[in-house]
Amino acid sequence: MDDIRYDGRVAVITGAGGGLGRSYALYLAARGAKIVVNDLGGTTDGQGNDARAADAVVAEIHALGSEAVANHDSVSTAGGGERIIQTAMDTYGVVDIVINNAGILRDASLVKMPSENFDTLIDVHLKGAFYVTQPAFRVMKERGYGRVVYTASGAGVFGNFGQANYAAAKMGLVGLSSVTAIEGAKYNIKSNVITPIARTRLTEGVMGATGDMFAPEFIAPMVAYLVSEGCEYSHEIFNVGAGRYSRIFIGSAPGWSAPAGTTPSVEDIRDNFAGIYSTDGYKIPVSAVDA
């Protein structure tokens, strides 16, 4: 089969000044894509800014003989999201691919979580992905083509101690991607979610000696496939890390139904809870209506 390439495609990648975002940018650029390298250049908890992070990745891409432009806006405001996409439009005239990767951490247990830290994580991860994707979606819809990837986390889908803000934001991205996929279906816009585990600035402190097993380069091929023209998958979630790739899905089982014409009591729920709880015969709904 032919190699997968991205000649003529324009990819906007947020948080691409290092880690996962940088690996995606270099991978796609090496295969012909033109890249908008977005990175505010802040600290891991979202403080400050430094243009050098994005600029350095652009220089790496130029060294490959490929095209790239830097953008230093924050994803956490609507204006920032608009300017990120406008950078692509002003430079290349189109947006074909959006990879929502930008993120920060401000961990604390549930009872110790400052409301500011909760709000900030929602602003960067969840609102940030919306602010970038919405203007890009308008362009994609008009052209009848687009590929979007949202970066969620196992912490969002399954939970993790001390990450109530991060988990809430990341699970919100699953819902955002589902709507992107449904609304984009007739315009050939595919949207998927990854839950990566990789060694980055956000995780290197907790990985220790195992970090080399989780290099960002293990994630890039999956993301590259999901944003390729030939990928027909959409409305999906994929767990990715250390060379392992698998599907995560949300299913709904038949459960128990109260007899027609009756309103069940709390005792009926108790007495039939085994059937309610059972996963036997589950199906994977494709929308809320289907569920």
**Angle value at C-alpha 116, between 115 and 118, nearest 5 degrees:** 65
Asked if 32 contacts 7 with a C-beta cutoff of 8 angstroms, the reply is yes
The position carrying tokens 């986390």 is: 153
Q: Which residues lie below 8 Å from residue 259, measured CB to CB, with a gap of 6+?
A: none
Gap between the Cα atoms of 264 and 266, Å rounded = 7
Q: Is 166 a catalytic site residue? A: yes
| Helix, coil or strand: residue 37 | strand
Gap between the Cα atoms of 23 and 29, Å rounded = 10
Q: Which of 27, 131, 166, 245 is catalytic?
A: 166
Gap between the Cα atoms of 100 and 13, Å rounded = 6
Tokens of 229: 């023209």
A 10 A CB-CB count for 191 gives: 28
Catalytic site positions = 166
